[in-house]
Structure 1
Amino acid sequence: MKTLISNALVIPMTKEGYSLRTDIGIDGTHIAFVGKAEPSFHPDHIIDASSLLAMPALVNAHTHLSMGLMRNYKDDLPTLQEWLAEIFPIEDQLTERDILLASRLGIVESIQSGVTTIADMYFNQHSTAQAIIEGGIRASIGITLFGDLQQSKERVKKSEALLRSFRSHPESRIQFDYAPHAIYTCPKETYQYAHDLAKEHGALLHTHLSETRKEVEDSVQEFNATPLAYLKELGCLDDIRLLLAHCVHLCDEELEILKEVDATIVHNPSSNAKLSSGLAPVSKFLEHGLNVALGTDGASSNNNLNLFEEMHVASLIGRVYTPTNTKLSPYQVLGMATTNGAKALGLDHRIGRLEAGMEADILLVDLHKSHLTPLNDPFSALVYSAQASDVDTLFCQGRMLMQHRKVLSLSVEDVLHDANACWTDVLSRKRG
């Protein structure tokens, strides 16, 4: 299947400030060219993109896809700890089918927001993987570890067949990482086990880190070290790639530690603000040369999976809360949601830029909107003005997942109906 995206305003994310009016050719799963179409390219489908902006599809580098079931539920509690005390009992009720239906809901929301790639951390990974395959997006799915070493080994064992099947397909849209939840839910043996597995399989270690001041204070009291320093003492930072969610309360010494390892900080500004966790010093991260990606966290603590909104909030906070002289530019924020996210997941050789040879993960933004007129600076417009609802068309690996706002890979009406029925059933089980 060959597709020609004709006469688009293209932001390839290859160079700061660079945009051009040109064509994009898609041949199968990959981008054939970005430039004037050659006469020898015979497309099966042509998209007139004269009123559209083409850019790399977005990467949500930290989320809990299935937590959309708990959207707007018990979310006015003052602290993360009090909120989790309400959420954990609900999660204990969830079945594999619940996770499947909730994952489909999160995938629809992601597609409608221009996201083709997520890094997920949750339970019952078989169900999430099935939903990812159905929905047509790509994912780095965390084998979530929670509790002591024996419990963690049982979780990994349950996923062994699934892991083997996907590791045999290096071009798959699904990869797996190891995701010890946090230092307050996992003992040192669990972290060391996760580290060893990540090292053995060349996988990410994905974890929450220094999300709240209380987490840091408790770590210092219990381990006589901050959370990152504690993980360093355990040897859990060495020789692996790290995906560290939140990192709101890192100190300067910890930033120096991160400079020496292969780590990405995932900034979740809306969740951090809503849960009163604090404001992450992103300008400090950037001045230390650290890779910073963007995430939504779960839809129960955000309360959506809208990465356009995250770009907007991150940009605003990044211009007000500036503990250094660095203020976030629109291009930097777009990079967090595209190129940096791809790098974080080890996919930067496949996605994150619009160039010949890259896989065709492309979103088309409808510019024919009052809030995008006049356009003037497209980078500024995408970060400060654009809405998720402006995403017109979305491709993942060359497959069109949405066209003119109609999701093609899943039935939206069925997904919404099933999610509502599922939540009613979960609450009934909880009361029973």
Structure 2
Amino acid sequence: MTRTRRPASRASRPGERLTRRLAVLLLAGPLLAAAPSVRAGGRDLPGDDMSHPHWIDLLPWIVTGNSCDYEPDYDAMCPFGSWGPDVVYAVAPERSVTVTVSLCDSHYDTKLMVYENGPGTLLGCSDDACAGPNFDYPYLSRLEGLSLVAGNTYYIVVKGYCAECGVYVMSVAPEAPCAIDFPGGGLPEGEPECHDGYVDEFNGGCDAGTPAFVPLVLGSQPLIVCGTSGTYTTGFEVRRDTDWYAFTLSAPGTLTARLAAEFDAKLHIFDAAGGCDSPILIGGAGSAACDAALAIEPLAAGSYWLRVSPAPESDAACGARYILALELETDEAGVGPGPDLGALAAAGGLRIAVSPQPARDRAEIAVWPPQPGGLEVALFDPSGRRIRTLRFRGEPVEGRLRLSWDGRDDGGRPVPTGVYGCRAAAAGGSGTRVLFWIR
């Protein structure tokens, strides 16, 4: 990752929190309900304009949010004008860098502008440049080959066509050559560099003969892990250096994980309840070299594993760098180091896991009710409307229940690409998990 700086004349702004709002809404009410703007009485909403931007501190960067929470401030003709809401990000690189800014994973018809040092100098504007997994039409936005010169501040404005707004996914990635800089204050992984004939006894996790994990302590401040990985040969077998990390939550929270690497990389999040014999995949993401991957998971109290690895097709040399940035939001203090591997805390009420994320063709759902008895499992669309009942409460269950969903509603109709809520309810509690579905 490339370090960026903030101009000395600007106070440090708090990090964006739009990525967590989705999980909160899923637990508290109708999915994707619009939150009221806090702009009334003053322009103090981070991201609302160039005087209050969301700051990008590292490159590459990836973030998601909802532009409907903002008001219109800026526009440029490329080739059409727009008058809808916009969100502002700012980056001030410590060294000159060429980047690609992309909205190609967004969920609505977008528009993108980049300004240098203020609204008077437009560096680039994009309206229709790409389609993506969340929007089938080529009406999403991307700017390539943008030269960001050290000593300047660049403002990235996320907007929509005409008056449109919605859920966006924005990435800012340096172009080749790809080199990751470890930031000061990061936590070193500590593993020796792999090599041909290497045997990983350090943090090979469930991929190793003897499982080993690096324990992490997640608290109120973001944690940045600086690691290395690669591929190597043992005998006649090509192996990948997979790095496993472990942490425990004593209270529910929402984990935001960002991964950037010098190689095509994968990030997986596991519930450790099943142990290495049957690890439970609950989320993850992947990225190309020097791009960024983003995973956001609401987690119940319990023990979890993170796995960073080269993608199966990668031939990265040993010593290739990556950075894993972790943020946790929880209602209570009490997040501790390394879990009791394979142990599931008996307390904590109902637990639910969904995999893979995103899901295509079929989603697997696992539910642990707090006590024997009736259990109901259902799917809800973004408006909060029940679309599919997988299990009725009148059917008793004891122990873990596994279900699958084929992406259809109760009438057998395929549901569109989008974000859904999977809710389980029993006498001893209830739980909701975000489910990202791709057709």
Bin the TM-score by the shorter chain.
Answer: under 0.3
TM-score normalised over the length of structure 2: 0.25
More strand by share: 2
Which is richer in helix?
Answer: 1
Q: TM-score, normalised by structure 1?
A: 0.26
Q: Structure with the greater relative contact order (CA < 8 A, sep ≥ 6): 1 or 2? A: 1
Which protein is bigger by CA-based radius of gyration?
2
